[in-house]
Structure 1
Amino acid sequence: MQDRFLDKAYGLETTEDTQNLYRDWAASYDAEIAENGYATPERVTRALAEILKKRDMPVLDFGCGTGLSGLALKLGGFQVIDGMDPNPEMLDLARKKNIYRNLTLIDIDDEAPVGKGSYGAITAIGVIGTGAAPATTLDLLMNALDPGGLLAFSLNDHALADRQYTGRLNQWLDCGAARLRFQRHGAHLPKQNLEATVYVLEKA
């Protein structure tokens, strides 16, 4: 019987635990996520496409994993997509999809893995949340954008219930450092009865 990983993903406490789980999950990730109706990549893509009309602008798919998010971006009409992820096993599978212009293995301890101003649009689809990337990832990605740059991302119900994630988002909005261009709650993993809010922020 094939191992199931999804139920384990939200109880992880350390970055080492997260790395180990995604390493072991890589081979069966696409199949297990598909079984649960993973809706967020398409939702984030649609939200970004509503605002970013230049589909030939390079987009960074941060935390690209096996490339499901990049595939959604490609199907949504985005033509130049780069990916970054800390898991080499996931990146190997993303590479086989032939979606990305460049794929980069990142060090989870690197505080600035994305060069400032390198991208006008960044996505973090199903990336920021409990058992995955910490709330400070929002700072990391927003700081990499120039004024006018867009960050399209999702927070699932587990992250929305944790005040560190919503608090970090509100810090950017309340001080005027970012403008909220899109916000909508909806399906994430329907078979798990788990939803997510999709956001698009514009750097002020």
Structure 2
Amino acid sequence: MGEKFLNRVYGKMAPAETQALYDAWAATYEAEISENGYATPGRLAKAMAKHVSDTSRPLLDFGCGTGLSGLALQLAGFTTLDGMDPSAQMLNIAREKSTYRTLTEIDIADPSPVPKGAYDLITAIGVIGIGAAPASTIDMLLRALPRGGLLGLSLNDHALREKVYEAALCQWLDTGAARLLVKEYGPHLPAQNIKSNVYIIEKA
């Protein structure tokens, strides 16, 4: 199938290196990730849908990549999806799926790429962790939500071993600025024996 990227992605890299890796991986990403049984998108999408009464409301799929997360969200009943990602090559593949209403390429140097209050439903599926988006992304996304808005995110085993990621979440939960609705540990990439937590958080 060509070059394998999965084992490389969990190394610590500068943001520009991470973006270059995902651009290079775009053409084979879905095949490689699917052969490892990528389960987190389906788990998180189902958990999110249980807490949303109107799944026609716009949902931002932050870090949408090639659109696998969008397909899972669509399968769970969400019908109005917008995607954002820093990888132009991944977005090109997502565009072919016709899953998203809009797709936006974001600048990794932009500290606040999501307009505040634009969405009351946001997901970051397989986005935050080592070799991907930093822990500060959690704070950025929660700040973008209005009160009562929901954030669905995942942290895999690699991220969970680095305390900084859950600590970023606890800064909101421990102060009462957000409320934890779901925290569920389960399969992420079963063929690699990697699991993940999925979280649904409501902004207070």
TM bucket (normalised to shorter chain) is over 0.9
Q: Secondary structure at the residue paired with 2:10?
A: helix
- Per the alignment, residue 110 of structure 2 pairs with 110
Q: Which amino acid aligns with 1:23?
A: D
In structure 1, the residue matched to 2:124 is 124
Q: Which residue of 2 is the match for residue 194 of structure 1?
A: 194
Residue in 2 aligned with 1:27? 27
Identity of aligned residues (%): 58
State the alpha-carbon separation in 1 of the partners of residues 170 and 12 from structure 2: 25
Residue 92 (str. 1) matches residue 92 (str. 2): yes
Q: What amino acid is the match of 2:191?
A: K
Name the structure 2 match of 1:154: 154
What is the alpha-carbon distance in structure 2 between the residues aligned to residue 163 and residue 34 of structure 1? 28
Residue in 2 that maps onto 1:14 = 14
Please tell me the residue identity of whatever aligns with 2:93: L
> In structure 2, what residue type is equivalent to 1:63?
G
Instruction: State the secondary structure of the residue aligned to 1:197.
Output: strand
* Distance in 2 of aligned mates of 1:12 and 1:165: 14
Deviation of the 1:101 alpha carbon = 0.1
Which residue of the partner structure matches residue 140 of structure 1? 140
State the alpha-carbon separation in 2 of the partners of residues 62 and 171 from structure 1: 21
Between the aligned partners of 2:15 and 2:174, the Cα distance in structure 1 is 29
Q: What letter is aligned with 1:85? A: D
Which residue is equivalent to 2:47?
Answer: 47
AA partner of residue 79 (structure 2): Q
**Cα RMSD over matched residues?**
0.7
Tell me how far 1:163 sits from its aligned partner. Answer: 1.0
Q: Which runs of 4 or more aligned residues in structure 1 lie more than 3 Å from their structure 2 counterparts after TM superposition? A: none
Q: Under a length normalisation based on structure 1, what TM-score does the superposition of the two structures give?
A: 0.99
Counterparts of 1:134 and 1:9, CA distance in 2: 13
Task: Establish whether residue 70 from structure 1 lines up as the match of residue 49 from structure 2.
Answer: no
Corresponding residue for residue 80 of structure 1: 80
Structure 2 residue 39 is matched with structure 1 residue 60:
no
CA offset at residue 120 of structure 1?
A: 1.0
- Read off the aligned partner of 1:119 and give its amino acid letter: Y
Name structure 1 gaps, 5 residues minimum: none
Q: State TM-score, norm by structure 2.
A: 0.99
Structure 2 CA distance for aligned equivalents of residues 199 and 86 of structure 1: 23
Distance 2:167 2:83 in 1: 27
Partners of 1:97 and 1:192 lie apart in 2 by 27
Mark the runs of 5 or more structure 2 residues left unpaired by the alignment. Answer: none
> Distance in 1 between the 2:188 and 2:18 partners?
20
